[in-house]
Amino acid sequence: MQMDSATTTTSPPAFPAGAFGPWRPLREIGRGAHGSVFLADGPGEGRVALKVCRRPDDPARMTEWEREKRGWSLYANLPAAPGLVRVLGTGETDGESAFWVAMELADPEPGGSADDPGSYRPLTLASVAAAEVALPLGRCLAIGERLAAALEHLQRHHLLHRDVKPGNVLFVRGQPTIADAGLVADDREAASLVGTPGYEPPEHHGTPQGDVFSLGRTLWRIGTGRAPEEAGFAPCAEADTSDPDFWRFLAILGKATSPVPGRRYRSAKAFRKDLARLRRHRLSARLRPIRVLAAVAALALAVPAVWNFPVFRVIMGEDEAMRAAIVWPFPYRMLKPLFVSRNPPPPPWKQALDDMNESLRKTLSELPGHRDDHRKP
């Protein structure tokens, strides 16, 4: 279902009050092949997105409707994870004439608001890419890593999405989130020609490599500004081609979207690891000058501090001439007053000797006939 195509229809579906549990539809904000999505009021969570899929009158479309229902059922029972839209409730209307799914609401497009149903349109990756033509490389990597992690979560539970594309990526609380689980299927029974042209793999969409291909094409669209059917064309002028890591990014996408399934990443996890590795490389390169400056500053502070060790303080405290003769190279002589006192304390061994002499004098003074001047009477 294309979430970025709001219609002018404002009437909610013709169902009695309470047909969708505690949620009440307000306005249609999206429409797909098997149902419509409404902005709806709800308790606790506030406004939500409510998808309603009517049972078709045409018996030839019943298989598709059952597949959509099965997909949402599998998805609704999946543990929540970052990067996947959260389902808040599901159900069927009386007489099973439709099934419905309530899910968290996407952020509004700029200028719109969920509090104003007439102005609300869901913010999708498709609308962001259309406005910016091509996104900066750093943002593409962050989006790709998050979406790959979401597909990894699905694959860990033996599920495939089978319809990853910019129009099915919503921004929820500022974060890209995969939505529309109507084509979700168990990976053991998913071999079928489904998906969206340009984003679907050339083979049957029934393996993890199929979702990897779709995500690779999605990242190609937002990174190069080119449509999926323009794969292999030079990036648009708005693409971040001046970044030296951009071509590494394209090499990763080339592997993800290989027409030969065996040459692609075997899973979303492997795809995510390469995206994360490139992102860490970029971060490390940016921090390298800061690390060098920090090391130089630490050395500049550590070397003068050596002169403040007790052994050096003893030597310097013994002879003023010796202390004055020590040459401090620049810039350490500027920091010398911070680490070396002009009147250093006496060395520990001298203090201990003075204490012993004092104790001995006290002992001798207590002996009978002892005189401090040591002279005979």
Q: What is the pLDDT of residues 76-116, one digit of tens each?
A: 999 999 999 999 999 998 877 899 999 999 999 999 999 89
CA distance 66 to 182: 10
For residue range 278-287, list pLDDT tens digits in order: 999 998 877 6
Is pLDDT larger for residue 260 or for residue 34? 260
Degrees (nearest 5) of the Cα angle 40, 42, 48?
50
pLDDT score for 318:
54
User: What is the crossing angle of helices 208-224 and 137-156, to 10°?
Assistant: 170
**Global pTM value:** 0.74
Range with top average pLDDT, 274-278, 301-305, 363-367: 274-278
For residue 196, name the pLDDT band (cuts at 50, 70, 90): confident
On the question of pLDDT at 301 being above 90, the answer is no
Residue corresponding to tokens 């004439």: 97
H helices within 108-234, ranges in order? 125-132, 137-156, 208-224
Specify which residues 31 forms β-bridges with.
2, 36
What is the separation, in whole angstroms, between the first and last Cα of the chain?
Answer: 119
- Give the separation between CA 315 and CA 9, rounded to whole angstroms: 90
CA gap 348, 92 in Å, rounded: 86
Instruction: Give the domains, in start order, of the chain with CATH numbers.
Output: 1-121 (3.30.200.20), 124-306 (1.10.510.10), 312-365 (no CATH)
CB atoms within 10 A of CB 314: 16
- Tell me the pLDDT tens digit for each residue of 166-184: 999 999 999 999 999 999 9
| Residue 40 reports pLDDT greater than 70 | yes
For 9-13, 117-121, 235-239, 369-373, which range has the lowest pLDDT when averaged over its residues?
A: 9-13
